[in-house]
Amino acid sequence: MSNPSSLPLRVVHHLAWRGRRLRRTTVDFFRRGDRTVIMTPPVGLRFGNWLYLWLDAHQQTALGQPTFVREAPGMAEWFDTFPELRALTVDDAEIGFHDRRDWEETTFRQRFGIDYSRETLHEFARDVLAPRIPVGPPGRLVINVRRGDYYSTPLKAASYGFDQVGYVRAALALLDDVVDVLVVSDDDVWCRENLDGPIRERASSVAYAKPDPAANFLAVAGARRIIGMNSTFTYWAAYVADAMNVDAKIIMPSFHARLGGSSTADQLDPAWTALDGFG
């Protein structure tokens, strides 16, 4: 068995969380309160992942079953951008002994049409996120490029990496009147070096947003035309854009990740254009 001191800190924290979860299973049997708390791991999830849990809390509460998401490190910085999320969240001090615990360790409620419907998704987007989204220029195309650890870490790259340049070329070919393009990414330098040429073959105006998670999300979600990537961050920005605009045009890769089983993204709205062949 591995020596705990040799494991990355995030892995140690996650293993400790799973251990606590197992020890509390018996105690959870006796919790019969009126509200449910969706428990979150201390590491491993980010804004896009958390939004699926907040969506579940929102839709369960609307059905008369008060449900909240346990606050995880990193959530609080998003409350400034979307204050309504705080009302769906509880920290450890706010969790009572009798509150029911809902532990999620596999899909994290991300399956379109199974864990949520288009109606409940759009209702959540309009109630909680859309009021804070500034509307972008009507003719602008926003291309959201996820890089980061998807490509800098060999293990993640093996699971999530795909032909982004070829995909962007193919997606651009599906759109008419591409003039104004905004590229939003966590690695604008890579985008300038690898995507500027293909984009300028179709557009006369290309701008690059500075990497900033909140500002980047607002920019993508406020667009009517989006070329996205295999990222829950992109999926959620597109959900919001779709909920705000009946004429939104959303293009995504059908590929999500090589994690065993199907690599197809379960999160995609079937009404979107999904491109095959790049993963």
**pLDDT band of 3, cuts 50, 70, 90:** low
Is there a single domain that holds both residue 22 and residue 92? yes
Same domain, 67 and 143: no
What pLDDT does residue 5 have? Answer: 54
Structural domain of 253: 136-275
Q: Do 156 and 266 have their domain in common? A: yes
Q: pLDDT, tens digit, for every residue of 28-59?
A: 555 667 899 999 988 889 999 999 999 999 99
Q: Is the pLDDT of residue 26 over 70?
A: no
With 60 as the cut, is the pLDDT of residue 239 above it?
Answer: yes
Q: What is the DSSP string of 169-181?
A: HHHHTT-SS--EE
Res 20: pLDDT: 60
pLDDT in tens, 253-262: 999 999 887 8
Judged against a pLDDT cut of 50, whether residue 183 lies above it is answered with yes
pLDDT on residue 43: 82
157 and 260 in a single domain? The answer is: yes
The verdict on 262 and 203 lying in the same domain is yes
Residues 210 and 168 in one domain: yes
DSSP state of 257: -
57-86 pLDDT tens trace: 999 999 999 999 999 999 999 999 999 999
Q: Which residue has the higher pLDDT, 24 or 197?
A: 197
Please identify, among 84, 108, 131, the residue that sits at the C-terminal boundary of a domain: 131
Residue 47 CA to residue 50 CA, distance in Å, equals 5
* Confidence at residue 260, expressed as pLDDT on a 0 to 100 scale: 82
- Output the pLDDT for position 1: 46
**Does residue 108 surpass a pLDDT of 90?**
no
Domain end point (choices 79, 106, 131): 131
Q: Is the pTM of this model over 0.75?
A: yes
Name every residue whose Cβ is closer than 8 Å to that of residue 244 and which is 6 or more positions away in sequence.
125, 126, 130, 133, 135, 221, 222
In a shared domain, residues 200 and 81? no
Q: Looking at the structure, do residues 54 and 156 belong to the same domain, yes or no?
A: no
Note whether 109 and 149 are same-domain residues: no
| Lookup: tokens for 178 | 């591409």
Averaged pLDDT, 149-159: 95
Tell me the Cα Rg of the chain: 20
Model confidence band, residue 7 (pLDDT cutoffs 50, 70, 90) = low
